[in-house]
Amino acid sequence: MGTPFGSSLTGPGVAVIAEVKRASPSKGDIAPDLDATAQARAYIDGGAAAVSVLTEPDRFKGSLGDLADVAALRVPALRKDFVVDRYQIWEARAAGAAAVLLIVAALDEPTLALLHDEALAAGLDVLVEVHDASEVAAAQRIGATIVGVNARDLRTFELDPDAFVRLRAQLRDGVLAVAESGIRGADDVARAAGQGADAVLVGETLVRADDPAAAVRDLVEAGRSTDGQPNEGVGPEPTDRADDPTTPVSHPSARPTAPHAVHEPSTTEAL
């Protein structure tokens, strides 16, 4: 059984979710030959609380195999992909993930709620990604307990440095807040901490680093130097799993889809 993702974000200071990412549509190849296991091991050595794994194969060059390899290191692993049906949740579960990403902009609200509940039933935590106030409201209506604020505008691709603090203020007490996009160094982590972040998600900067363990360590130290106190957010209750997540589990036998559920994000850079 993997460590619950949400619980890993509730330690002292700001937790670091480090990402395994080979490519993106806007940047092209970032690290096409990246070894997911070696990269994740370096992140763990640097003190990362969890590891996010891109599993989308065409534009990000990820795979479920990467997810399984990272989860085998016994670190809380997040499946980062365009999750649009229940089957993908059970794929993540079988690969050993501790959590899945759901992007509010990619789903209508009934489907968002359905997939959120399905993931919880599968014993997974859910990182619900938002970009604006209306998406924050949707996340809260479906009961999200971990919310990621992506500061990148999906229409212009520009980063909004004030997005996190603006949307963080709209979250209920007890919701874990994750700052996504635009975190490049210790100063950014310190800024996010001052704005109420419980965690930061960092990808390209760490993948490009000559020494990813040291790069993570710098971010972790910046997050702990704010006040040394445990994060104010209260993570979701740990979910007991009756069996090992890598073994077969009871799940829908046919690949179920959620009709009329998917809104194509205005850019594939949403991940």
56 assigned to active site: no
Residue range 224-233: mean pLDDT, rounded: 56
27 assigned to active site: no
pLDDT in tens, 35-69: 999 999 999 999 999 999 999 998 999 999 999 99
Say which residue the tokens 């996009």 belong to.
181
Given a contact cutoff of 8 angstroms between Cβ atoms, the answer to whether 51 and 43 are in contact is yes
Burial of 92: CB neighbours in 10 Å, binned 0-12, 13-18, 19+: buried
- Token pair listed for 89: 């949740």
Q: Which of 8, 24, 52, 150 does the annotation list as catalytic?
A: 150
Q: Which of the pair, 114 or 240, is modelled with greater confidence?
A: 114
231 assigned to active site: no
What is the value of pTM for the model shown?
0.85
118 assigned to active site: no
Q: What residues does 146 pair with on adjacent strands?
A: 176
Q: Which of 7, 61, 80, 231 does the annotation list as catalytic?
A: 80
Task: Set out the domains of the chain in order of their start, with CATH numbers.
Answer: 7-226 (3.20.20.70)
Q: Which of 91, 118, 135, 180 does the annotation list as catalytic?
A: 180
Q: Which of 7, 8, 19, 52 does the annotation list as catalytic?
A: 19
129 assigned to active site: yes
Q: Which of 8, 21, 135, 231 does the annotation list as catalytic?
A: 21
91 assigned to active site: no
Closest C-alpha to 71, from 41, 101, 47, 42: 41
pLDDT in tens, 233-266: 444 443 443 344 333 344 443 344 444 455 555 4
Q: Which of 8, 52, 91, 129 does the annotation list as catalytic?
A: 129
Residue 227: pLDDT band (50, 70, 90) is: low
Cα separation, 162 vs 177, in Å, equals 14
Three-class SS state of 222: helix
The DSSP 8-state label assigned to residue 23 in this structure reads E
